[in-house]
Structure 1
Amino acid sequence: MNTRLQQFLDNMVPRIADLHKRSNDAYWKATTTGNPADEERYADLRSQLLKLYADREAFADLKEMRESGQVTEPLLARQLDVLYTQFAEQQIDEADIEELVRRETEIEGRFTMYRATIDGEKVSDNEIHDILANVTDSEKRRAAWEASKQIGPEVAGKVVELVKFRNQIASKLGYANYYEMSLEFQEIDKQELFDVLGQLEAATRAPFAAMKAELDAELAARCGIAPDEMRPWHYADPFFQEAPASEAVDLNQFFAAQDVVALSKVYFDGVGLDIQDILDRSDLYEREGKNQHAYCTDIDREGDVRILCNVRPNEYWMATMLHELGHGVYDKNYDEQLPWLLRGIAHILTTEAIAMLFGRLTKDADWLTKIAGVPAEQAQAVSSEVAKQLTRAMLIFVRWGLVMTHFERDMYQNPDQDLNTLWWDYVERFQMVKRVEGRNAPDWAAKIHLGTAPVYYQNYILGELCASQFLAAMERDLQLTSVTQDPRIGQWLTDKVFKPGARYQWNEMITQATGLPLTPKFFVEQFVTA
């Protein structure tokens, strides 16, 4: 059976690798240009790849080999598991594949090209964030916040129809809905996931409420209003998923005159992870027609790793560069001797963990001194406030993530329910932000992930847990006193996380790297009970 599987892989993998590379390249061109022809080319190539996975005869062969139990060579057995999952998820009709890709690409294209308006003038996402970060006039803030939601009505109907269509596909494969199907193919048990989320909700409820009361008082004073007048537009992010700049120390001041791209290289060089080739291939600055978000892509699993950003000299984009380059160094440092199928991440949550581990560093006083060049005395003076900012950021993000995970679960269970009200029910429950009186709009649809990255957000939360677990293991193994200028950090991550690729099931890899399966323990110790 080993020989039979190897022959199957020798025939199939080159076809997958070719379409993988060409579709990733087409997506890159589509998101960096906004050219409809590139979007169409990407949609066509992605359809071809999904149709290859949908091959019923090939899937039958994989299923027979897997169920035989006679594939005994470990790397072959792991490749079989990986490929079986990829094929199982796509056992749908070709017409459904084409329609699925068409709908997803259309929504992605809307987000890429859309520019909100304030008083009739087009504004970018960066400009909206600048207003929410700096302007104190409540009416101007409200106008910017409402502008951030203008894309919602443009795509909401399409997202709901896409959710229903995904559910139809899942039903044909024997699943209750697309959400449950996706979790199974991600090797995540739904009950275990929501048990963990429940533990996090309970552990963070009181600390978050206390932190938010303090934050609301600060922001209200800044805007000249009473704390009970706080509304969604008084926070520094349209979804209140990021911590606002501190009144005591504005981290943006440390980056306003800096080249955040150059700082990124200084940091990664210091921990023994070369990123120059990634930067050389990347598209880092904003322009009309370009996707306004940020992502990392591994084009071919042979070293062509790139990031897309829209860099400005501020703390947000500094953190985003570190985050995306975290994905990049993971993708770049797989063991080249691994078979192509295993030259990939162990799981979405593990690559998010690495990205988040690095993205947190802008709120580390030691990093600010050694990398951003903040004078040691100044960094030490603000160290407690910077640590407080990081704790705020983590609490805010976890509570925001609870909104997304619960809303998405419920949306797939019943896409015909009142989603506008459901969204604000969860915002009030988990983020403790008051809904806007009299507003009935699809604000949820302004979050791109719900249309284009379905059943993904739980991996951000699990990634934060895993980041804390990786950090605790490095501190234990290396007796770290600093997360900067220590090449052992890059070596530890390369040996224990990057090089194994997808050789092991994700929780097995985490256990081998840290000594324990994934647990909330280290995140809670770092940010809740510390």
Structure 2
Amino acid sequence: MHRRIASLFVLLLPLVVSAASPIQERVDRFLKLTNAGYQALYRVNSEAQWLAVTDVTPEHDAAVAATGKAYAAFNGNPAIITEARDLLAHEKELTPLSVRQLKQLLLNAAEGPMTNPDLVSKRVEAETKQASILNSFEFKLNGQKITANEIDNKLEKSTDLEERRAIWEASKESGPALKPNLVVLRDLEVQAGREVSSAGPAKNSGALDQQSVGTGMARPG
């Protein structure tokens, strides 16, 4: 979820308007189209995730999986990957903002490259399962049920070391339940990254450094 919010920030940045070369105009048209599609699918997927968090049911989990697959199908579309790579081949002719946005598109594509639809489907299902396990997990503190939000609030406010230790230990109770699927998810993420990183421009997309964070480009590694 954090990854997607970070991606939304960069894709919402206004396109730079300039008396540009034909290649820059091509980039602007491409980004206008992809940004519109991204924002629409991001919203639908986020709404489904919120429902799944606040009301854990098989139906809401299924909605998350369905919208997640649609989201991945757009971001990982081979046509988008190919066009972004082709445009980045002219990086020196483009504005810095356009370059960052094109690289962000490739990072988004790496999360669900539709060059391998089966892999993407498995990853989305694994992510949905992992979130469902966590959302439905019952934490307990001193034998009493406690929510994840309550754990966060207590850790933030408590100054008693013994109490903080007990709260911290309670927060780790979900670990054993999450671990088996976490291993599966990690392997799927590695495979997904390899699908996109097989070509030069995709490798260069990792150039989003700390300087990018200062311009709304924050993105976890």
Answer whether contact 2:140 2:146 (CA < 8 A) is retained: yes
Cα 1:33–1:2 shift into 2, 3 Å: same
Report SS of the residue matched to 2:89: helix
Cα 1:82–1:71 shift into 2, 3 Å: farther
Answer whether contact 1:2 1:70 (CA < 8 A) is retained: no
Deviation digits for residues 126-155 of structure 1, max 9, x if unmatched? 36975994778x7x9876654433211111
Report how far residue 121 of structure 1 moved: 3.9
Distance 1:117 1:87 in 2: 39
Report SS of the residue matched to 1:122: strand
Pick the aligned partner of 2:108 from 49, 65, 86: 86
Are residues 1:64 and 2:86 paired? yes
Report how far residue 170 of structure 1 moved: 3.2
Mapping of 1:276-425 within 5 angstroms? 345-348=216-219
Structure 2: unaligned runs, 5 residues or longer: 1-22
Cα 1:345–1:28 shift into 2, 3 Å: farther
Are residues 1:97 and 2:120 paired? yes
Cα 1:161–1:40 shift into 2, 3 Å: same
Report how far residue 42 of structure 1 moved: 2.5
Pick the aligned partner of 2:145 from 97, 101, 122: 122
Are residues 1:185 and 2:56 paired? no
Partner of 1:15: 37
Cα 1:53–1:36 shift into 2, 3 Å: same
- Read off the aligned partner of 1:165 and give its amino acid letter: L
- Answer 1 or 2: which has greater helix percent: 2
- Read off the aligned partner of 2:42 and give its amino acid letter: H
Are residues 1:163 and 2:186 paired? yes
Distance 2:209 2:117 in 1: 27
Report how far residue 67 of structure 1 moved: 0.6
- Read off the aligned partner of 2:179 and give its amino acid letter: A
Partner of 1:55: 77
Cα 1:68–1:156 shift into 2, 3 Å: same
Answer whether contact 2:106 2:205 (CA < 8 A) is retained: no
Report SS of the residue matched to 1:105: helix
TM-score by length of 2: 0.65
Report how far residue 90 of structure 1 moved: 4.0
Answer whether contact 1:59 1:87 (CA < 8 A) is retained: yes
Mapping of 1:435-454 within 5 angstroms? none
Distance 1:32 1:160 in 2: 26
Distance 2:98 2:151 in 1: 50
Answer whether contact 1:54 1:93 (CA < 8 A) is retained: no
TM-score by length of 1: 0.30
Report how far residue 188 of structure 1 moved: 4.3
Distance 2:152 2:31 in 1: 49
Deviation digits for residues 220-251 of structure 1, max 9, x if unmatched? xxxxxxxxxxxxxxxxxxxxxxxxxxxxxxxx
Mapping of 1:239-278 within 5 angstroms? none
Deviation digits for residues 376-424 of structure 1, max 9, x if unmatched? xxxxxxxxxxxxxxxxxxxxxxxxxxxxxxxxxxxxxxxxxxxxxxxxx
Partner of 2:131: 108
Distance 2:91 2:204 in 1: 25
Cα 1:124–1:29 shift into 2, 3 Å: closer
Report how far residue 80 of structure 1 moved: 3.2
- Read off the aligned partner of 1:346 and give its amino acid letter: M
- Read off the aligned partner of 2:90 and give its amino acid letter: S
TM-align CA RMSD:
3.8
Report how far residue 119 of structure 1 moved: 6.5
Cα 1:73–1:135 shift into 2, 3 Å: closer
Answer whether contact 1:128 1:145 (CA < 8 A) is retained: no
Distance 2:99 2:152 in 1: 50
Report how far residue 93 of structure 1 moved: 1.3
Number of aligned residue pairs: give it.
189
Deviation digits for residues 61-99 of structure 1, max 9, x if unmatched? 221122134744555444434334433554351221121
Distance 1:48 1:21 in 2: 12
- Read off the aligned partner of 1:93 and give its amino acid letter: N
Report SS of the residue matched to 2:208: coil
Partner of 2:51: 29
Report SS of the residue matched to 1:150: coil
- Read off the aligned partner of 2:192 and give its amino acid letter: I
Distance 2:96 2:152 in 1: 51
Report SS of the residue matched to 1:117: strand
Higher Cα radius of gyration? 1
Distance 1:17 1:75 in 2: 18
**Which structure ranks higher in relative contact order (CA pairs < 8 Å, sequence separation ≥ 6)?**
2
Partner of 2:6: none
Pick the aligned partner of 2:64 from 42, 45, 51: 42
